[in-house]
């Protein structure tokens, strides 16, 4: 990813088209598609607690492969998981119970806190000082909006804000916090 931050469009939200059930689109206030998140096919034989739910995310010229790994008894019961960006080469999130909390470590060395919230509340990424960077609010089933995304001014200066916008949506999907 380039070192300069791409401009943040106004009014970001994740939309799920009726015609593409396995694709979610990151759109701006003008209803333009600026990114996508696509579910990838599952392996033929999997166990639910080890099943690596996989997705492909794209924003502009950047693309990432996302996956989750749940190991052992704690993974089976949802008490821990590791979420990978590009098989861990771009970043790794070590998640606590039900992916409601975690630490995202990026390959650049930057560490961010994930707060998945509970039920229909907001989810967010924070820097190590505790400042909110990117916030996800619940969407609308009737409008087919999976989540609204707010990129704070501090995050707008970061080249990683597009990654955070797609990765947060992926985490909300893993938490089953998205209207389908």
Can you give the residue ranges of every domain in the chain? 13-174
Closest CA to 150 of 162, 134, 166, 163: 134
pLDDT in tens, the chain (180 residues): 446 778 999 999 999 999 887 899 999 999 999 999 999 876 655 555 445 588 999 999 999 999 998 887 877 777 889 999 999 999 999 999 889 999 999 999 999 999 998 766 799 999 999 999 999 999 998 999 999 999 999 999 999 999 999 999 999 998 887 765
pLDDT at site 67: 93
CA distances from 54 to 83, 114, 127, 133 (A): 10, 19, 26, 25
pLDDT at site 72: 77
pLDDT at site 84: 95
Please state which CATH class domain 13-174 belongs to: mainly beta
pLDDT at site 2: 43
């Amino acid at each position: 990813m380039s070192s300069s931050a791409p401009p943040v469009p106004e009014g970001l939200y994740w939309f799920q088209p009726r015609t593409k059930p396995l694709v979610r689109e990151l759109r701006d206030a003008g209803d333009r598609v600026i990114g996508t998140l696509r579910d990838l096919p599952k392996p033929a034989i999997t166990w639910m607690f080890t099943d690596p739910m996989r997705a492909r995310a794209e924003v502009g010229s950047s693309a990432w492969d996302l996956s989750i790994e749940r190991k052992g008894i704690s993974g089976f019961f949802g008490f821990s998981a590791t979420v990978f960006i590009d098989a861990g080469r771009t970043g790794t999130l070590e998640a606590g119970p039900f992916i409601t909390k975690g630490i995202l470590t990026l390959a650049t060395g930057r560490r961010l806190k994930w707060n998945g919230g509970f039920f229909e509340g907001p989810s967010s990424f924070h820097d190590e000082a505790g400042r909110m960077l990117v916030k996800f609010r619940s969407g609308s089933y009737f409008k087919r909006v999976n989540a609204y995304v707010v990129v704070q001014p501090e995050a707008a200066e970061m080249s990683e804000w597009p990654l955070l916008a797609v990765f947060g949506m992926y985490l909300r999907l893993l938490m089953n916090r998205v209207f389908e």
